[in-house]
Structure 1
Amino acid sequence: MFKKIVATAALLFAAASFAAVDVNKGSEADLDGLKGVGPALSKRILDARKQGEFKDWADLMQRVKGVKEKAAAKLSAEGLTVNGKAYAGGDAPAAAPRTGKPAKVAAKE
């Protein structure tokens, strides 16, 4: 019986440690608890959140310095969500349109 109690407690602890933290609802301590989020990043997130909740990952990446596609993917893998959604990879802010033509390279003479 004791082994079952210990095993159940261990499973509950493991599940709690992998619990998702929503960027719009998490406290500073919740955000700091995620691997990859330190005091400076959690402060930037909370400061940006004062302007209004984040709509999606693109909004988060646009408003919080230091959070771009690579960081968003890592933070999402650690349990950070925006409105309950994990980073899907294609949520990046709109960039300048590409023409599909290669850039011209100056020839050396």
Structure 2
Amino acid sequence: MLKKLLLVVMSLIASIGMAMAAVNINTATEQELESLPGIGAAKAKAIVEYRKANGNFKSVEDLKSVKGIGDKVFDKLKSEVAVSGTTTVATAPAKDAKPPKADKKDAKPAAAASSSEKAKK
């Protein structure tokens, strides 16, 4: 009996987790769409362009109308997309994003700055 109860609780937790990781295909940015399995930059762009040209998706299955999204790709992502609600997936930084470089002119070592100041006096 306890095992069955535990199984039910675990199923509920899993389904809540899936519901929380949804991407609204009608409002998501390209970067948010890229968080979906099987969706890279090109397919994310195709989804956004399709949406701009044809209006909002009426159902999740309408994604199959986007060039490059067939049954296999659709099967991978269908449980993670919705046509309403808010996108709840945190976006990752761009793959090619690099941290800003320190400006060498402004980054004088303290010892060098103090010795040059002494030389001026």
Q: Map of 1:47-62 to 2, 5 A cutoff?
A: 47-51=49-53, 52-62=55-65
Give the TM-score taking structure 1 as reference length: 0.52
| Aligned with 1:73 (options 75, 79, 90) | 75
Q: Assess, with a 3 A threshold, how the Cα gap between structure 1 residues 25 and 67 changes in structure 2: closer, same or farther.
A: same
Identity %: 41
Q: Where in structure 2 are there 5+ consecutive unaligned residues?
A: 1-16, 86-121
Q: Is the 8 A contact 1:55 1:83 kept in 2?
A: no
Q: Where in structure 1 are there 5+ consecutive unaligned residues?
A: 1-14, 85-109
Query: CA-atom RMSD, angstroms?
Result: 2.2
Give the TM-score taking structure 2 as reference length: 0.47
**Map of 1:5 onto structure 2:** none
Larger Rg: 2
Larger relative contact order, structure 1 or 2 (CA cutoff 8 Å, min sep 6): 2
**Map of 1:36 onto structure 2:** 38
* Structure with greater helix share of residues: 2
Deviations 1:51-97 (A, max 9, x none): 211111343212x01212222111124x122346xxxxxxxxxxxxx
Q: Is the 8 A contact 1:60 1:67 kept in 2?
A: yes
Q: Is the 8 A contact 1:56 1:83 kept in 2?
A: no
Alignment-mate amino acid for residue 57 of structure 1: V
